[in-house]
């Protein structure tokens, strides 16, 4: 061992030696840093992705459970091309939402979404090529493609806007039209597009005509089912009118038949055609108002449903006395996703399961139709059986006490869990037809649109898109009094620059000294 005196007498390393040692240490540190970075990336790549939502509205771009299930069950790749001008007012919303779709699809075991963003103004050559490929005539479009099938979603399909008039600007001679985005429909539109391109053929839903039913082509503000029919088309359905007298029955491509508020009875021959069709796994959606007879009452009794001649009165479920507010039963696929919503009927009749068919209360035999109640009133309600009694009063000898069922779903035949080769027959009956009409939907009544669409999707075996509700855009408002405005003006115009100037003078003075 060296003594302490010998170590003191040992000459210090030269400057060149120190430099070489320093460089060696730097190279070793850089190599270790690179190795740690590579190791961290390998480990992160092996782990599932972790993502956080830091947006102001935490649920605005969060996908619904139905959409997540759809993305993770993909069995083929879906190509998505977004042709949006970066300056478009909805460009960032579309981009963020598509990134959410892409990330969720990557967590599945099969196919996934492959999203490309193309700037129509900067990438001119690529835009021209894709426009020719997809036969696009305009920009601001999202294209979904899979298996040779394509679906287009334009900017107007992803938002619902309300137009108002600014009277002050209008009186000043300017254009007083003001557009306000009331609903963001991006998830509904994109999920529908994906469902459309991955399925072989879209379901075809017919609206029966000829008996005073609601018209699926009527977009007037007083009546009609044009708005709900447009929503059905957005959910990948073909909507067509049906006159059984002209068609000679129900077409073979019919996935479901909707009878929306008939005011006149169907002919016996027509009722027999529907009855035979239901025996062959048909799907029927009946909306029948109080005090009317559709001619399908006998048919429904065969399937375990009773339609009485009455009108439901519920003092505990109304505000103005004209509407009927109710909650959805959580016992069926149609209404289970709607538990945070309420429904509104505008005059309804009772729709009840017959004894021996109630799927919840009784052990239904395998050869009988299973009837599930979808909505019912409070205990204060009753079924009024005297149409001439004004105002209606409860009569214990005649009227039926509440709670009263307002809507039911019927299913009979093999269910999916049993692996049956024949599809089950399905029927949905509502005691009101006005709730899904244009004026009712325009009033924004509760979850009426979601209820209607959930029922139709269940009928056509398209449960993946049930109750994908639109998002309401959030608004950030800054309310300031005049005193706060003066304080903010003083701080931003005078105080901030003054502080910066004082710091600069202090630094200059210290350096000068």
Of 39-53, 181-195, 428-442, which has the strongest mean pLDDT? 428-442
* pLDDT confidence of residue 98: 92
DSSP E strand stretches across 274-313: 283-287, 305-307, 311-313
* pLDDT confidence of residue 417: 46
* pLDDT confidence of residue 225: 95
Indicate the pLDDT class of residue 267, thresholds 50, 70 and 90: very high
Tokens of 178: 């003001």
* Bridge partners (DSSP) listed for residue 242: 208
Round to whole Å and give the CA distance between 207 and 350: 23
* pLDDT confidence of residue 357: 86
* Bridge partners (DSSP) listed for residue 177: 165
* pLDDT confidence of residue 416: 47
pLDDT of 454 > 80? The answer is yes
498, exposed or middle or buried, with CB in 10 Å at 0-12, 13-18, 19+?
exposed
31-35, 137-141, 325-329, 422-426: least confident range: 137-141
Run of H or E including 384: strand 382-384
Around 11, how many Cα atoms within 13 Å sit in the side-chain half-sphere?
Answer: 4
Identify whether the C-beta of residue 454 lies closer than 8 Å to the C-beta of residue 334.
Answer: yes
Mean pLDDT of 322-349: 86
Identify whether the C-beta of residue 210 lies closer than 8 Å to the C-beta of residue 245.
Answer: yes
Indicate the pLDDT class of residue 110, thresholds 50, 70 and 90: confident
* pLDDT confidence of residue 170: 52
* pLDDT confidence of residue 13: 55
The structure's pTM equals: 0.65
pLDDT tens per residue, range 145-189: 888 878 888 887 787 766 555 555 555 556 555 566 667 788 888
* pLDDT confidence of residue 418: 45
3-state secondary structure 211-227: CCCCCCCCCCCCCCCHH
Indicate the pLDDT class of residue 252, thresholds 50, 70 and 90: very high
pLDDT of 371 > 90? The answer is yes
* pLDDT confidence of residue 59: 62
* pLDDT confidence of residue 261: 94
47-51, 124-128, 146-150, 213-217: least confident range: 47-51
Round to whole Å and give the CA distance between 113 and 287: 39
Mean pLDDT of 136-143: 77
* pLDDT confidence of residue 366: 63
* Bridge partners (DSSP) listed for residue 239: 205
Parallel, antiparallel or unpaired: strands 400-401 and 382-384: antiparallel
Handedness of CA 62, 138, 438, 249 (dihedral sign): negative
Of 265-279, 334-348, 376-390, which has the strongest mean pLDDT? 265-279
* pLDDT confidence of residue 138: 67
Indicate the pLDDT class of residue 312, thresholds 50, 70 and 90: very high
Tokens of 17: 């030696």
Scanning 143-243, the segments in alpha helix (DSSP H) are 167-171, 186-198, 226-234
320-324, 356-360, 411-415, 464-468: least confident range: 464-468
pLDDT tens per residue, range 286-301: 999 999 999 999 999 9
Identify whether the C-beta of residue 250 lies closer than 8 Å to the C-beta of residue 284.
Answer: no
* pLDDT confidence of residue 172: 59
pLDDT of 473 > 70? The answer is no
Domains of the chain with CATH codes? 65-181 (3.40.30.10), 204-461 (3.40.50)
The mean predicted confidence, pLDDT, of the chain is 82
Higher pLDDT, 221 or 256: 256
pLDDT tens per residue, range 180-238: 666 778 888 888 888 878 877 789 999 999 999 999 999 998 889 999 998 888 777 89
CA distances from 154 to 91, 138, 157, 283 (A): 12, 9, 5, 32
* pLDDT confidence of residue 57: 47
Identify whether the C-beta of residue 101 lies closer than 8 Å to the C-beta of residue 112.
Answer: no
């Amino acid at each position: 061992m060296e003594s302490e005196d010998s170590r003191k007498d040992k000459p210090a390393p030269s400057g060149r030696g120190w430099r070489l040692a320093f460089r060696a240490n730097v190279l070793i540190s850089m190599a270790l840093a690179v190795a740690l970075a590579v190791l961290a990336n390998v480990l992160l790549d092996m782990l599932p992705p972790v993502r956080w939502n830091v947006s102001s509205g935490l649920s605005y771009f969060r996908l619904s459970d139905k959409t997540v299930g759809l993305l993770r069950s993909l069995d083929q790749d879906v190509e998505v091309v977004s042709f949006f001008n970066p300056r478009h007012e909805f460009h960032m919303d579309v981009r963020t939402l598509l990134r959410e779709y892409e990330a969720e699809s990557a967590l599945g075991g099969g196919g996934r979404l492959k999203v490309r963003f193309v700037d129509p103004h900067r990438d001119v050559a690529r835009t021209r090529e894709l426009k020719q490929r997809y036969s696009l005539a305009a920009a601001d479009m999202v294209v979904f493609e899979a298996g040779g099938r394509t679906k287009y979603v334009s900017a107007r399909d992803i938002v619902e806007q309300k137009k108002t008039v600014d009277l002050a600007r209008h009186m000043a001679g300017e254009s007083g039209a003001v557009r306000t985005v009331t609903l963001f429909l991006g998830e509904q539109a994109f999920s529908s597009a994906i469902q459309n391109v991955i399925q072989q053929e879209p379901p075809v839903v017919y609206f029966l005509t000829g008996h005073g039913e609601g018209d699926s082509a009527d977009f007037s503000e007083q009546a009609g089912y044009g708005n709900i029919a447009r929503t059905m088309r957005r959910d990948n359905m073909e909507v067509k009118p049906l006159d059984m007298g002209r068609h000679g029955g129900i077409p073979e491509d019919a996935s479901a038949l909707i009878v929306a508020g008939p005011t006149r009875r169907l002919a016996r021959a027509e009722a027999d055609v529907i009855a035979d069709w239901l025996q062959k796994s048909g799907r029927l959606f009946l909306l029948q108002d109080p005090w009317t007879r559709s001619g399908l009452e006998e048919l429904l009794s065969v399937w375990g449903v009773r339609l009485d001649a009455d009108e439901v009165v519920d003092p505990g479920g109304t505000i103005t006395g004209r509407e009927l507010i109710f909650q959805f039963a959580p016992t069926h696929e149609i209404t289970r996703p709607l538990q945070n919503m309420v429904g509104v009927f505008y005059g309804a009749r009772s729709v009840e399961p017959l004894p021996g068919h109630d799927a919840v209360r009784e052990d239904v035999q395998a050869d009988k139709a299973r009837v599930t109640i979808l909505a019912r009133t409070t205990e204060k309600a009753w079924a009024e059986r005297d149409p001439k009694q004004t105002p209606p009063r409860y009569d214990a000898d005649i009227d039926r006490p509440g709670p009263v069922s307002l809507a039911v779903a019927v299913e009979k035949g093999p269910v999916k869990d049993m692996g049956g080769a024949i599809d089950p027959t399905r029927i949905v009956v509502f005691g009101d037809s006005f709730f899904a009409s244009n004026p009712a939907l325009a009033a924004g009544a509760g979850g009426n649109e979601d209820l209607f669409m959930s029922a139709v999707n269940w009928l056509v075996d398209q449960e993946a898109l049930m109750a994908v509700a639109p998002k309401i855009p959030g608004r950030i408002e800054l309310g300031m009094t005049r005193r706060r405005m003066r304080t903010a003006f003083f701080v931003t115009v005078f105080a901030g620059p003054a502080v910066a100037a004082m710091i600069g003078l202090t630094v200059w003075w210290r350096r000068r000294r």
